[in-house]
Structure 1
Amino acid sequence: MPKDFRATTLERAIGRQLAGWRNERELSLAEAGQRVGFSSAKLSMMENAVQPSAPVDVMALGYVYKVPTPQWQAVVLRAQYAEHARTRALNNEPNFDPAADFTNLVFEATSLRVFTTDLVPAVFQLGGYTNAAMLTDDPVRIARLTMVREAWSARLGDKDPLTVQAVFPEAVLRQVVGGPRVMKAQLLHLMEVSEHPTVSLQVVPRAAGAYPAMGSPFTLLEFPHRQHNDVAYLETFIKGEYFEEPGLTEQCAQRFTGLQQLALGTGESLELIAEAAAEL
């Protein structure tokens, strides 16, 4: 075990599971360790995630505790995943970065369904708005957002242009990012892009109250090839993440449909955008 070992949340969950198995059988650390051939100290360190739980050790505990096979096999798979991730990190293997890759998916997609909670969708942001929103302290993220906007612009002239459906709450229009001049330019730009036949903008009015996916922005991408599943993209200021399991992307699609049903229509949304711009 490396001296600088720090357990991941997955490894801590595995430790809790091992302790749960033992407690269910009302065994002390000494009794359980004697049955499996471990010292009580080793078993304690595994349960408290003070050291990694090797898959073979998890398998041995599952067998000794007479845990149903599917249950201990599932924990062994988690231990294998944790072991692989730790080895990769120790070897400094490069990790795939969805935030850096996202622009490529924008180029490849046939449609984007975008829900934002506090900012104008990245594909429609002007440079001044992006700089102000990022407080100019994150040049890498600013560059990535710029690339996303440019990717959408480049697709406008395609034979099969990218379709963008965007939904966001009214608060996005009222938050004066970058000052009145920058914000007014951004709102006027939204009005301009809404004229494209491949763009749909809908605003959730303040009077709507709670709405689906509240506080959880996401982008759902669809692709032309049958072999390519839909992808949901979520991003914070720390990192971006892809979700590709059909069940999860379907949840996003359902939330988006609910948002569209609750939001104002495109015409009423445009009027609200124009109203917000006129007030600046």
Structure 2
Amino acid sequence: MPKDFRATTLERAIGRQLAGWRSERELSLVEAGQRVGFSSAKLSMMENAVQPSAPVDVMALGYVYKVPTPEWQAVVLRAQHAERVRTRGPGAVVNFDPAADFANLVFESTVLRVFTTDLVPAVFQLPGYTDAVMQTDDPVRTARLAMVREAWATRLRDKDPLIVQAVFPEAVLRPVVGGPRVMKAQLLHLMEVSEHETVSVRVVPRGAGAYPAMGSPFTLLGFPHRQHDDVAYLETFVRGEYVEEQGMAEQCAQRFAALRSVALGEGESLELLAEAAADL
């Protein structure tokens, strides 16, 4: 393994694909390792992106698992690209869509710091709210938002639950998205989830004036493995993008800390949510 290895989101997606191949064939790590000639430890580290997945190893797994040739070839190409980026810096474009991968990253994270500017954070959106927002948008994006919500819901009562810290301006509470009934249900849901000990919801009041990162929503994800650095996720209706350069991720962390400092505390934010719900 390269010294002080840090897995990129692409390498983690490759590992997830390898784990999916094995799971589909109902093989244990030991059984799969015996078939391909790897130790179970090596296979586990590849699947969890704790070490790189060499293209030749991906090819061997595709062959042993009898994966359709076009499918394993596509993953080999991704592994080759990941290897080039790791050894020589950014190279050719690879077919990897962060927007499609984001729910997986949410499921794997331990801390989620979310700043939105005009919508309720995706992890807390009710289906009716999401549908109202996306009714004239891409249905694929709607499905992806649902996957993000489900990823958080699945982790809510884990022995190692996902910690979510959300900050958004008061303006998020005022548009009557989907009509009064849908919006009121959404606000009540926000009040409910904010009472979980692993959730922090803070609102920037309109009287705060200008505030850090104004107009620039982002999500910052933290992970349990030492080899997995923090990743920032940015999204528009055109595409999603991961920001993995650690200097930039640290800038997002600093902005988020500054946002929390200008936002209301959890108790005052809850009161503002209740007030907005009562107005509907």
* 1:224 partnered with 2:227: no
Output the amino acid matched with 1:241: E
Q: Deviations over 1:134-171 (max 9, x none)?
A: 12431100000000000000001211000000000000
Match of 2:144 in 1: 144
Match of 1:259 in 2: 259
Output the amino acid matched with 2:154: A
SS in 2 for 1:175: coil
TM-score in terms of structure 1 length? 0.67
Q: Deviations over 1:46-94 (max 9, x none)?
A: xxxxxxxxxxxxxxxxxxxxxxxxxxxxxxxxxx999x64xx6xxxxx6
Distance 1:159 1:220 in 2: 22
Identical-pair percentage: 79
After TM superposition, the structure 1 = structure 2 runs for residues 157-168 of structure 1, keeping only pairs within 5 Å, are: 157-168=157-168
Output the amino acid matched with 1:111: V
Question: CA shift at 1:179, angstroms?
Answer: 1.0
SS in 1 for 2:184: helix
SS in 2 for 1:200: strand
SS in 2 for 1:211: coil
Output the amino acid matched with 2:262: L
Match of 1:124 in 2: 124
Q: Deviations over 1:81-133 (max 9, x none)?
A: 99x64xx6xxxxx6100000001111110000000000000000000100111
Provide the alpha-carbon RMSD of the alignment.
Answer: 1.5
Q: Where in structure 1 do 4 or more consecutive aligned residues deviate above 3 Å?
A: none
SS in 1 for 2:178: coil
SS in 1 for 2:216: coil
Match of 1:109 in 2: 109
- Give ranges in structure 2 of 5+ residues lacking alignment: 1-87
Distance 1:239 1:110 in 2: 24
After TM superposition, the structure 1 = structure 2 runs for residues 16-31 of structure 1, keeping only pairs within 5 Å, are: none
Distance 1:227 1:254 in 2: 22
Distance 2:210 2:147 in 1: 33
Output the amino acid matched with 1:107: F
Distance 1:170 1:103 in 2: 26
Question: CA shift at 1:176, angstroms?
Answer: 1.1
SS in 2 for 1:104: helix
- Give ranges in structure 1 of 5+ residues lacking alignment: 1-79, 89-93
Match of 1:234 in 2: 234
TM-score in terms of structure 2 length? 0.67
Which structure carries more relative contact order (alpha carbon 8 Å, separation 6+)? Answer: 2
Output the amino acid matched with 2:107: F
Q: For the structure 1 residues 175 and 232, does the alpha-carbon distance in structure 2 shift closer, same or farther, using more than 3 Å as the test? A: same
Match of 2:276 in 1: 276
SS in 1 for 2:159: coil
Match of 2:155 in 1: 155
After TM superposition, the structure 1 = structure 2 runs for residues 1-280 of structure 1, keeping only pairs within 5 Å, are: 85=92, 95-280=95-280
Match of 2:83 in 1: none
